[in-house]
């Protein structure tokens, strides 16, 4: 039995895609408990989206489709993993591969799994069940784990160590009156307080411990604000230096909120008991009450609300996230106009200069000014400007 896949097969994107797709289909059959013959046609016009993705190399102008086809035929003849039946209705001038049928040979499944290092789901399930058995009584609902179990993650010495960490959650929840996600994660997952930050992991905790997880306290959001005695608008500021500089101007009727990046875009930002504010100025009790009533109330439309951040894609994503909680939010034009002036004057940085190559373009955020002017300007110039570039004094007259 061949222990390794021939190197030229791994270099053939069509062939390696087909072999993995065959096992995907067989795994799906095994999970449903119903096996059937596996066959496909090489037809770029029909099939599932996944199958058409497998056939994509045949469209790729950088690939030699005839070479891909010749290697596929040679593999079928040499290793007998599947049979190839030519298309009997192929018209003259049409490539030989078009419409050809591939029929998987069931007897080659073991060899194929060995090559691709893909054990059958039944074996995976058996191994996971054995691993979980000593800890099963530590979970309120162990069936909440995926059927195939959890994939071993970097940082754990073994799958057993990872399971024992998940089981440790039970002890912490039993003896705690209340506990935060960060505290729970640090105590159970090798001191890593952020391990349970992912929504998928928090969901798994809730499903594994439907009763005990009620003791987990949602992490509070700490926001800083500048509150005048009376305010006629609210502006979210992305960066700390700009927020402090604007607050030091002491605008008489504008409230400022330091959004601290994506934290300000959390969907739960307006939930009672989640957000806590500290004020950078000596805000009066009246202004605090007025702001709190606006923040948690149903009359958000009573005040204009704006966002001002960096002129880059990530800054605009923060604005888009904030709009989920503040539907009327718009990008603050006086501030962004100054950033646009810098951009058009060539006083902007390229994505690689500021390590922003990972920022993905955004098409629109639902703000007419941003969608029609800011995003097109960034896209056309492929450059960014951070809001700290603005001289704050130039904004004084724009703050009512």
Give the pLDDT confidence of 232-276 residue by residue, as tens digits.
999 999 999 999 999 999 999 999 999 876 655 566 788 777 888
- What's the pLDDT at 89? 86
- Is residue 309 scored above 60 in pLDDT? yes
- What's the pLDDT at 250? 92
- Is residue 1 scored above 50 in pLDDT? no
- Is residue 129 scored above 80 in pLDDT? yes
Mean pLDDT (the chain, rounded) = 88
The DSSP output letter for 295 is H
Nearest to 305, CA basis, from 324, 285, 284, 278:
324
Containing H/E element for 180?
strand 179-180
Give the pLDDT confidence of 355-379 residue by residue, as tens digits.
677 788 888 999 999 999 999 999 9
pTM of the model: 0.58
- Is residue 2 scored above 60 in pLDDT? no
Q: Are 67 and 57 in contact (CB under 8 A)?
A: no
- Which of 2-16, 313-327, 331-345 is the most confident on average? 331-345
- Is residue 280 scored above 90 in pLDDT? yes
- What's the pLDDT at 396? 79
């Amino acid at each position: 039995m061949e222990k390794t896949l021939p190197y030229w097969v791994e270099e053939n994107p069509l062939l390696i895609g087909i072999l993995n797709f065959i096992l995907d289909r067989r795994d799906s059959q095994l999970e449903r408990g119903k096996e059937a013959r596996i066959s496909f046609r090489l037809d770029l016009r029909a099939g599932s989206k996944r199958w058409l993705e497998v056939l994509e190399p045949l469209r790729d102008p950088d690939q030699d489709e005839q070479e891909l086809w010749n290697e596929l035929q040679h593999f079928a003849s040499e290793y007998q993993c599947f049979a190839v039946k030519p298309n009997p209705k192929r018209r003259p001038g049409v490539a030989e591969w078009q419409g050809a049928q591939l029929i998987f040979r069931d007897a080659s499944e073991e060899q194929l799994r060995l090559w691709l290092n893909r054990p059958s789901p039944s074996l995976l399930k058996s191994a996971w069940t054995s691993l979980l058995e000593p800890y099963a009584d530590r979970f309120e609902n162990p069936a909440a784990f995926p059927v195939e179990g959890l994939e071993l993650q970097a940082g754990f010495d073994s799958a057993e160590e990872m399971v024992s960490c998940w089981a440790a959650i039970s002890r912490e929840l039993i003896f705690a009156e209340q506990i935060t996600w960060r505290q729970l994660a640090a105590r159970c997952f090798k001191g890593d307080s952020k391990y349970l930050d992912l929504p998928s992991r928090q969901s798994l905790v809730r499903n594994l411990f439907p009763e005990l997880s009620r003791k987990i306290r949602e992490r509070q959001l700490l926001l800083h604000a500048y509150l005048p005695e009376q305010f006629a608008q609210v502006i979210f500021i992305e960066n700390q230096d700009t927020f402090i500089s604007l607050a030091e101007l002491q605008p008489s009727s504008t409230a400022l909120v330091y959004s601290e990046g994506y934290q300000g875009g959390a969907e739960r930002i307006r939930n009672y008991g989640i957000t806590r504010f500290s004020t950078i100025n000596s805000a009066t009790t009246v202004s605090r009450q007025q702001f709190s009533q606006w923040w948690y109330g149903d009359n958000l439309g009573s005040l204009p609300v704006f966002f001002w951040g960096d002129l880059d894609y990530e800054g605009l994503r923060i604005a888009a996230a904030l709009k989920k909680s503040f539907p009327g939010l718009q990008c603050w034009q006086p501030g962004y106009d100054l950033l646009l002036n810098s951009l058009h004057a060539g006083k902007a940085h390229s994505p690689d200069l500021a390590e922003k190559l990972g920022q993905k373009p955004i098409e629109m955020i639902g703000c007419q000014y941003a969608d029609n002017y800011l995003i097109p300007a960034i896209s056309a110039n492929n450059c960014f400007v951070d809001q700290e570039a603005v001289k704050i004094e130039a904004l004084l007259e724009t703050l009512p």
